[in-house]
Amino acid sequence: MGLELYLDLVSQPCRAVYIFAKKNGIPFELRPVDIFRGQLVSKDFSQINNLCKVPALKDGDFILSESTAILIYLSSKYPTADHWYPSNLQARARIHEYLGWHADCVRGTFGVPLWTQVLAPLIGVHLPEEKVQRNRAAMDRALQELEDKFLRDQAFLTGQHVTLADLMALEELIQPVAVGFDLFEGRPKLTAWRERLEAFLGMDLCQETHGLILNILEQAANKKIPDPAPEVYPYMLLRISRIP
């Protein structure tokens, strides 16, 4: 059995891993995991990853979670261009610097609009307007920092070349866009970065990766999103309770 990637393309870090593997021609078996049908918390999956999270990688007997770790593993193990995770000390440090900030200020923040508008209502939870506004403000601040501290006048987030950092950022920023919050509007610098990045990745690959999430509102409207399995409720409620 070769490399297996356990992914649900609704999830931002899953998409980053998917795009990276595909763009670099890394051979893998896709193991789709449907979060809302409760597959994450199933017995089968918890044998793969007892943290019950996606993305997850299985390479023979070696199992790995956390998108950052998976991306670094793939870029180290397979022949990928150096620019993704450069061997140069300072260039690599910049990626880790971005990823540290990303973990605090992007992850957990940009996923909230999907929760507010689509996922929480599936289990009858409606977030107070105060929280929605607080999240908007947090996203605005993060986007400003993204432009001022990271992007600045560079082509990409950590320099002149695409890196793992750009993939992680793009997939998070797409999430609110999918539910109608166009955070690229009024931000020409960020828009240019996105266009450059998507051109580099290729529109076909982007459409393939983003197709599911960008259709999410339509699916919700047509009642095509399955009701979450009962065993998923506690996880959903916990996630919702963490929204500041």
Shortest Cβ distance from residue 158 to other proteins (Å)? 11
Shortest Cβ distance from residue 190 to other proteins (Å)? 18
Q: Which is closer to other proteins, CB of 104 or CB of 182?
A: 104
Q: Which is closer to other proteins, CB of 168 or CB of 179?
A: 168
Shortest Cβ distance from residue 196 to other proteins (Å)? 24
Distance, CA of 55 to CA of 5 (rounded, Å): 7
Shortest Cβ distance from residue 46 to other proteins (Å)? 11
Q: Which is closer to other proteins, CB of 32 or CB of 100?
A: 100
Q: Which is closer to other proteins, CB of 148 or CB of 195?
A: 148
Shortest Cβ distance from residue 109 to other proteins (Å)? 10
Q: Which chain residues interact with other proteins by CB under 8 A?
A: 50-51, 62, 64-69, 72-73, 76-77, 89-90, 92-94, 96-97, 99-101, 103-105, 107-108, 138, 141, 145, 148-149, 241, 244
Residue pair 183/177 in contact by the 8 Å Cβ criterion? yes
Q: Which is closer to other proteins, CB of 10 or CB of 99?
A: 99
